Structure 1
């Protein structure tokens, strides 16, 4: 059983990840004892896989989208005694525990209230080319990303200290939640820092077509936000 880091909660939105979620949780729970998975209306056996671990499980009866799952997970973790740090973590095996530890060190040092993972502070060769182009374009087009001096505006690996976590209100249920979070941070007085992380683009995640689909969604979100300014 993991020892230490009892003040950290890992928040994992889950939608139809029965093939990998148990392995992801086994890896995370070796270092972080507090994990909450929000099963966002999965139609497969994701919930059963989660119940076979020590992770906490919260379920949406229908699919509401990743933003809603993150908000549910944050509310749950904020209600746990002794919780001080809150990390959003993907369910598909793309994120690394060692990167969370590096981000946590930065937050514990008192130099940042929010730490965002970035694929582009070091070599980005592992990032699929279409996603690399999309994410670079997002940074160039987004006033919010420029204001925060972000190199990676849509990385799902994020760490919030308690103050920002309590203030965060995610109302965008789909992929637009990433832009919403960045906008909220840009309008706040919280100290935001980026930290280099490695995203593991596995055969499983590539087979789901995430790079292309998410890339189109991200560009659409940025386009709509610019029209609404």
Structure 2
């Protein structure tokens, strides 16, 4: 691996891509990502379509789950693997289905450079016309509850295009069972805020490729699981009405054109 491929500053970042049956898109996604991040870790989550073999010849680190463990477990494995290198300051995550445009990686990195103690999130919901209506409604529903429980406004709680500070990953303790595959990315926003790591949105494009496999996210089932997790956290905090007030009245962090500032 050539740590100077994308410049010295980005050498302190790693990228984790969980992949389950992504043979149609994964090589293009990874190849493009390597232009911007020197260290790419792909976690093949028990794929049966040859996802791993599609990556032959690329300068990456490939981890494989023998059976499908779910997105949360794959993300966690990749994050922990990345942080074995103590020089890593933060870890980026993105999906392998091509929904996230690797060309926008520098915009998220720019925000992370300037605000290293925030969770940088690639926000898609601004472009409502490009998002399937059922998914848009489900995401907005999840946003309300997660913003309440975390005490901050959140633009896109379900985007997997993120950068997590290394200190957060080293400190947080979350369940990563298969049943919580799509709960992890919501819960870490809540726990991160409690630890002082707030969310910063960076608006990104919304891409739905014709050749990508159907989404593993189930709008009804997974949103119900997320809501149950959030409800429990609110109950244990006496409904946390202060958090509701903050989520509705605070002006959010912003990062426009990679120029980030606290508003």
Scaled by the length of structure 2, the TM-score of the pair is 0.78
Deviation by residue 1:196-228 (Cα, 9 ceiling, x = unmatched): 1123111133x51x28x4322332123322553
Within the alignment, does 1:30 sit opposite 2:39 as a pair?
Answer: no
Aligned twin of 2:254: none
* Structure 1 spans left out of the alignment, 5+ residues: none
Deviations 1:28-73, CA, capped at 9 Å, x for gaps: 1122221000111112211112233111101111111100000000
Instruction: Provide the alpha-carbon RMSD of the alignment.
Output: 2.1
Whole-angstrom CA distance in 2 between matches of 1:226 and 1:83: 30
TM-score by length of 1: 0.88
2:166 is matched with 162
Matches within 5 A, 1:1-229: 2-4=5-7, 5-80=10-85, 82-110=87-115, 112-120=117-125, 122-142=126-146, 144=148, 147-173=151-177, 174-205=181-212, 208=214, 210=215, 213-228=217-232, 229=235
Higher Cα radius of gyration: 2
Distance 1:56 1:150, change over 3 A: same
What secondary structure is seen at the aligned counterpart in 1 of 2:103? helix
Cα offset, 1:17, TM superposition: 0.9
Equivalent residues, number: 225
Where do 5+ consecutive residues of structure 2 fail to align? Answer: 236-263
